[in-house]
């Protein structure tokens, strides 16, 4: 079982992430799954009828707006980084948290590396599935790379100039 960072801890991951080409008939009734956006859009009713818990994942070119009205159905939203240098999902994360008030788990998946964790955390992520060849225990330290920040963001609604 893969280990992920959740909050400030490394925990076993109990969720199954379904690829984009997964189909509904492959699903079991129980078990916690994170489905691709297209599957959610096509099979929302069937997915809600399952006993297992439900999450959805967005790729970098998919938009937070497309699930803004559905947030109550998800225990996890995962945002994919096809390469770590693709920064679009930082904006999606902030929109989900700040604009649409999503309170559940927000997880980064894909090419997730430790040197990006600090930024991800600031944008509202609270779970990180690091790329498999990376050690999540070692990566924990990077969540504390900086002890002070200038801007307001999801983790700190007041910019430094309103606090200094």
Q: Which residues bind another protein (CB under 8 A)?
A: 63, 84-88, 90-92, 94, 99, 113, 115-116, 118-123, 145-153, 157-162, 164
Quick check: 77 and 106 in contact, CB under 8 A?
A: yes
- Phi (first) and psi of residue 20, to 5 degrees: -60, -30
CA angle, 113 then 7 then 82, to 5°: 30
Residues 6+ apart with CB under 8 A from 88: 60, 61
- Dihedral sign for Cα 116, 118, 119, 121, please: positive
Q: 43 or 88: whose CB is closer to another protein?
A: 88
The nearest distance, CB 142 to another protein, in angstroms, is 8
The nearest distance, CB 43 to another protein, in angstroms, is 27
Of 139, 129, 95, 140, the C-alpha closest to 17 is: 129
SS3 assignment, position 52? coil
Please report which helix (H) or strand (E) contains residue 122, including its range: helix 117-122
Q: 38 or 150: whose CB is closer to another protein?
A: 150
The nearest distance, CB 14 to another protein, in angstroms, is 28
Q: 15 or 81: whose CB is closer to another protein?
A: 81
Q: 10 or 118: whose CB is closer to another protein?
A: 118
The nearest distance, CB 71 to another protein, in angstroms, is 17
Q: 74 or 90: whose CB is closer to another protein?
A: 90
The nearest distance, CB 102 to another protein, in angstroms, is 15
């Amino acid at each position: 079982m893969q280990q992920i960072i959740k909050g400030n801890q490394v925990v076993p991951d109990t969720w199954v992430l379904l690829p984009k080409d997964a189909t509904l008939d492959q699903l079991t009734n129980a078990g916690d799954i994170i489905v691709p956006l297209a599957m959610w859009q096509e099979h929302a009713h069937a997915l809600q009828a399952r006993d297992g818990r439900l999450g959805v994942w967005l790729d970098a070119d998919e938009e937070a707006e497309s699930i803004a009205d559905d947030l109550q159905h998800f225990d996890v939203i995962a945002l994919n980084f096809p390469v770590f240098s693709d920064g679009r999902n930082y904006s999606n994360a902030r929109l989900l948290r700040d604009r649409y008030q999503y309170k559940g788990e927000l997880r980064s998946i894909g090419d997730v590396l430790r040197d990006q964790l600090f930024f991800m955390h600031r944008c509202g992520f609270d779970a990180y599935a690091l790329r498999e060849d990376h050690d999540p225990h070692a990566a924990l330290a990077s969540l504390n790379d900086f002890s002070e920040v200038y801007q307001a963001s999801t983790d700190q609604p007041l910019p430094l100039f309103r606090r200094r």
